[in-house]
Amino acid sequence: MSHYRSSRHHGLIALAAIIALLPLVLSNKYFYDVAILIGFNAIVCIGLNLLIGYAGQISLGHAGFFGLGAYASAILTGNYGWPPVIAALAGMAGVGSLAFLAGRPILKLKGHYLAMATLGLGIIISLVIVNQDRLTGGPDGITVGPFSVLGFALENERAWYWFIGGLLLLTVWLSQNLIDSPMGRALRALHSSEVGAQAAGINAAAHKLQIFVLSATFAAGAGSLAAHYSGFITPAKAGFIHSVELVTMVVLGGMASIYGAVVGAAVLTLLPQILTVLKDYEMVVLGAVMMATMIFLPRGLVPSLAALCERWRDLLPPSLVLRLEALIGRGRKP
């Protein structure tokens, strides 16, 4: 167990090191911008992966929660003059309550039916946002003021970068603790066999609902901050396509893997940036990449690479493996 715990901390330290060292290569505002976007998406995807990867429940409507959080911040700070932090927390609480109410009937469904119901919920949310134009500005979107914490305003990309970096580490740490808690074990038991888990005394419905509410709240929080960061929000952020992007990030990075969610968010945020070079062919390549990774790496990047490393490890002489492991400070799991 101690080995396991230490390897868990190594992952967090590695991520912290990457976040700390990344500014050395981020030479201009644009690179900072992309890094911050990756951070937002990673936070949403970690929450979504708790739901999809660990609890085994799909959601094709998470962008709706993201959008609601964003619009809550925009409206509460813009129209009612609330402080940004309070507005964001209120948005998260509101979205959490909505997820709680909607989750009760929705999570009784399974597989395709669950996918459809969450899809429907997401689309209804985005249509409400488009149509309540007096409040939301309709299809054209709405501007959002800057974000400030305790009177300290986040003014430039650098400040945002460190803020989001810290928040991402916090999210990873919280999620890892959750996964290793009795709650996390219950979720994994649920995923492998719901009947089995229930026979062992796990309240399946309550656990699924809790994780659904938690992941919706993560999405709402990220939505609030993203709206403040970009200073503008449109209904597209709450739409079906964005929901699909989020799920794809999770599955591409690797289900039931916290770092998978981060990697998936990074790859799928970077990809469109790189693909803009291709101009007209952007969508074609994006679609082809989605299909190809799902066909050839259905388990996602991180678990597939991990499996590959395991196989390589068996091919190398054991003495070399031990020395390498000592080098990266990682022992075999007990």
Partner 1 sequence: MSAELAQYLTTGVTVGAVYALVALGFSLIYNASHVINFAQGEFVMIGGMSAVSLVATGMPLILAVPLAIGITVLVGMLLEKFAVEPARGASVVTLIIITIGASIFLRGLAAIVWDKKLHALPAFSGNEPISFVGASVQPQSLWVLGATMLIVLALAWFFGRTRVGKGMLATSHNRLAAQLVGINVRRVLLLSFAVSAGLGGAAGILVAPITTTSVDVGVMLGLKGFAAAVLGGLGSGPGALVGGFVLGIVESLCAGYISSAYKDAIAFVLMLGVLFFLPSGLMGKRAADRV
Strand partners, 149: 152
Cα–Cα distance measured from residue 245 to residue 60, given in angstroms and rounded to the nearest whole number: 10
Tell me how far apart the alpha carbons of residues 71 and 95 are, in angstroms, rounded to a whole number.
11
Of 105 and 182, the one with the shorter C-beta distance to partner 1 is 105
CB of 203 closer than 8 Å to CB of 250: no
Residue closer to partner 1 by CB (options 110, 323) is 110
**Closest listed residue to residue 168, CA positions, set 70, 54, 265, 42:** 42
DSSP alpha helix (H) spans, 79-148: 84-106, 111-131, 133-136
Q: How far is the CB of 203 from partner 1 (least distance, A)?
A: 16
Which lies closer to partner 1 via its Cβ, residue 291 or residue 320?
A: 291
Place of tokens 């985005």: 126
By C-beta, is 77 or 269 nearer to partner 1?
Answer: 269
Closest approach, Cβ 225 to partner 1, in A, equals 27
Shortest CB 49 distance to partner 1, Å: 11
Identify whether the C-beta of residue 268 lies closer than 8 Å to the C-beta of residue 242. Answer: no
- Residue 260 CB, nearest approach to partner 1 (Å): 13
CB 227 within 8 A of CB 90: no
First to last CA, the chain: 7
C-beta of 119: minimal distance to partner 1 in Å?
8
Q: Where do contacts with partner 1 occur on this chain (CB under 8 A)?
A: 52, 58, 60, 105-106, 109-113, 115-117, 119-121, 123-124, 127-128, 131, 240, 244, 247-248, 251, 255, 280-291, 294-295, 298
Residue number, 284 or 320, with CB nearest to partner 1? 284
- Closest CB 298 distance from partner 1, rounded Å: 5
Nearer to partner 1, 195 or 315 (CB): 195
Closer residue to partner 1 (CB): 180 or 282: 282
Residue with tokens 């007096």: 134
Q: Nearer Cβ to partner 1, position 281 or 312?
A: 281
Distance in angstroms (rounded) separating the CA atoms of residues 109 and 107? 5
Cβ(10)–Cβ(330) below 8 Å: yes
CA 95 – CA 47 distance, rounded (Å): 14
CA angle 302-269-171, nearest 5°? 65
User: In angstroms, what is the minimal distance from the CB of 194 to partner 1?
Assistant: 9
Q: C-alpha distances in angstroms, 96 versus 215, 223, 245?
A: 9, 13, 21
Nearer to partner 1, 2 or 192 (CB): 192
CB of 327 to partner 1, least distance (A): 36
Query: What is the rounded radius of gyration, in angstroms, for the C-alpha atoms of the chain?
Result: 20
Tokens 């309540």, located at residue = 132
Nearest distance in Å: CB 288, partner 1: 6
In 10 A of CB 253, how many CB atoms? 29
